[in-house]
Amino acid sequence: MFCRTRTRNILRPLATVVAAWVLAGAAGAWACSVPVFRYALDRWQADAYQLAAPAAVANSAEIAPLLAGLRKNPAANVLVTMDKAAADDGPARLLLPQSPDKPIWSGPLTAEALRAITDSPARRELAKRILAGDSAVWVLVDSGKREVDDAAVAAIEKRLKYVESVAALPDIDPNDPTSQVGPGPALKAKFSMLRVSRNDPAEKFLVAMLTWALTEKADAANAAVVAPAFGRGKVLGVAPAGEVTDEVIDEMCVFLLGRCSCQAKEANPGYDLLMTVDWDAKLMEAQEARDKAAESAMPAADAKTAAAKANAPAPETVVISGTEPKAAPASEDKSRLVVWIAVVVLLGFAAMAAALWRRKKP
């Protein structure tokens, strides 16, 4: 099953959280209507990793300007600190947000390493998909055994497509202030898979972030690893691909697509990835692109409607006695009206004369 080992409360048992979600959903009034994946994207800021560097390295001519720029960059969820206890030539350490005593990497802090720590192609693709509307991106770190990895991807993708086909998002009450969706992509149930090579140097730190919880499991050290990521780079859990059954996928998807019963980020399972993304700005860009697409689609829709009306067949005319009725000229209508008025007047006079004649008759 997905790793639920806690390192300073990094992960909660997912079953407990799902049970709480079900109870809150039954209660109705407790939960907001926004699905968990979107509530996280709108509201949950990513926790900061800690990059502890020896003072001599941090103050060096090569690294000092880079660290100064990183400190001023709000898009990267990392806190740079001086490791005063480290030797001048000692390694830098990258520490988990909730576990300052748990480094997921240590080594020489170079300009290249600093760039790789904060960003990578896979993390950019992950953010791109989430900002395009994916409910979650299921990241697979491969084992290096192509046939095994391909089979795992095929099985997971098949189940995710099934979940998409039957999923129904919660109805959102527009009058509930706790259930408002922020700017961003359209709300939909959509999942995708992103494959990451364990041996790709550019993804070294992402692989470390995704596999650290399984390092104590010998059978999982070199196995393909699966981790669904959502929100602002939050990993729901990590498991060897061989343990990701249909039931596990369903459990994860039900949680992500369901009402956000517990709005406190810390009370939900998972941990954040280190990414360099200005989520608030990117969400506004996604909303603007969505609005422009809607505006550009409106004239096209109007043109299609007009064309459909122009090409629509004329209403059928009912023909009687084999000839199609023709509209009478206006002059003919007036003549007929005069004749009818004259007839009515004459009949009136005739009736009056007959009445007088009867009275005079002895």
Q: Which pLDDT tens digit goes with each residue over 105-144?
A: 999 999 999 999 999 999 999 999 999 999 999 999 999 9
Model confidence at 352: pLDDT above 70 = no
As a whole number, mean pLDDT of residues 30-34 equals: 73
User: How far apart, in whole angstroms, are the C-alpha atoms of residue 48 and residue 45?
Assistant: 9
- Under the banding of pLDDT at 50, 70 and 90, the label for residue 176 is confident
Give residue-wise pLDDT tens across range 199-209.
999 999 999 99
Task: Flag whether 83 is in a domain.
Answer: no
Domain that holds residue 156: 14-46+118-293
Place of tokens 């995708």: 192
% of residues, the chain, pLDDT over 70: 71
Average confidence (pLDDT) over 143-169: 95
Q: Residue 187 falls within a domain, yes or no?
A: yes
Per mean pLDDT, which of 84-88, 206-210, 214-218, 333-337 is the most reliable?
Answer: 206-210
* pLDDT for the residue 268: 84
pLDDT bracket for residue 17 (50, 70, 90): very low
Residue 208 resides in a domain: yes
- Lowest model confidence (mean pLDDT) among 78-92, 184-198, 337-351: 337-351
- The answer to whether residue 236 sits within a structural domain is yes
Domain count, the chain: 1
Q: What is the pLDDT of residue 212?
A: 87
Of 136 and 181, more confident: 136
- Is it the case that residue 239 has pLDDT exceeding 60? yes
Structure tokens at 267: 């009370």
Q: How far apart are CA 299 and CA 359, in angstroms?
A: 80
Q: How far apart are CA 127 and CA 143, in angstroms?
A: 23
In a domain? residue 223: yes
Residue 61 inside a domain? The answer is no
Mean pLDDT over the full length of the chain: 79
First-to-last alpha carbon distance for the chain, in angstroms, is 121
Say if 345 falls within a structural domain: no
233: left (phi over 0), alpha (psi -120 to 50) or beta: left
In a domain, 178, yes or no: yes
Mean pLDDT of 149-154: 96
361 has a pLDDT exceeding 90: no
Q: Is the per-residue pLDDT at 26 higher than 90? A: no
- 16-30, 182-196, 237-251: least confident range: 16-30
Q: What is the pLDDT of residue 60?
A: 93
- Inform me whether the pLDDT recorded for 280 exceeds 90: yes
Task: Give 291: exposed, middle or buried? Use CB within 10 Å, 0-12, 13-18, 19+.
Answer: exposed
